[in-house]
Amino acid sequence: MWLIVGLGNPGPKYEHTRHNIGFLVVDRLVGTTGAHPLSSSSFHGELFKKTQTLFLKPATFMNRSGLSVQAVKNFYKIDPEKIIVIHDDLDLPFGAVRFKKGGGSGGHNGLKSIDEAIGRDYLRVRMGIGKPAYKSQVIDYVLHDFSPEEMRVLPAWIDHAAKATLELTRHPMETVASTFSVKKPAWNAP
């Protein structure tokens, strides 16, 4: 059993913010795989299933994402090495896609929460959102909607990340990274 987690904040206010890129990728995965919803308030989020893959959008807000991930992990007895977390990353340029296993949170509160709840041995799909000019602007930046220019390339970027994430359930991370890593984005607007 695999667990694919997209990080974000619930509610329409945050729907198209940079911090919600994980939710957007999970939405695409649920749509393309035909996953069906599972309901249980004990999961603290929206959970979907398709064969041996679960898709989770924690409803705990970013800073408490670990609560939801831990609840699903424990209920389904999922090994941390079969958990993939998709998240925004300020340290990568907009549109980049990178892969990582373990490591630090890089100041990302959603990752900090997950690390505290289940440890660090999970896989990560890092979605580059760029960064603001000043560190004091980070909170406003991540909670702000994508720009019109970014919105034009968002579908292609999300598709790419969704395909890469599914490949992580079939192949070693190194193999997927060699094919799907995007360091310097060159997305074509649809």
CATH of domain 2-180: 3.40.50.1470
Q: Enter the tokens of residue 83.
A: 């958990």
Residue 190 has pLDDT above 90, yes or no: no
DSSP state of 182: B
Q: Enter the tokens of residue 92.
A: 């990568």
Q: Enter the tokens of residue 62.
A: 């970013």
pLDDT tens sequence across 10-54: 999 999 999 999 999 999 999 999 999 997 789 999 999 999 999
Residue 63 has pLDDT above 60, yes or no: yes
DSSP state of 50: E
Burial tier of 124 (Cβ tally within 10 Å: 0-12, 13-18, 19+): buried
Residue 139 has pLDDT above 70, yes or no: yes
Q: Enter the tokens of residue 164.
A: 């890469």
Q: Are the beta carbons of 115 and 66 closer than 8 angstroms?
A: yes
pLDDT (average), residues 135-155: 91
Find all residues with CB under 8 Å of 17, minimum gap 6, and list them. Answer: 8, 9, 142, 143, 144, 145, 146
Phi first, then psi, for residue 87 (nearest 5°) are -150, 160
Residue 153 has pLDDT above 80, yes or no: yes
pLDDT tens sequence across 88-130: 999 999 999 999 999 888 889 999 999 999 999 999 999 999 9
CA distance 169 to 13: 32
Q: Which of 19, 44, 87, 108 is catalytic?
A: 19
Q: How many residues does the chain have?
A: 190
Residue 166 has pLDDT above 60, yes or no: yes
pLDDT tens sequence across 178-189: 999 998 766 544
Catalytic residue list contains 171: no
Q: Where are the domains of the chain?
A: 2-180
Nearest one of 180, 19, 5 to 98, comparing CA atoms: 180
Q: Enter the tokens of residue 46.
A: 């929206």
* CA 16 remoteness from chain centre: 14
Using DSSP bridges, classify how beta strands 53-58 and 97-101 pair: parallel, antiparallel or unpaired: unpaired
Q: Enter the tokens of residue 23.
A: 């939710």
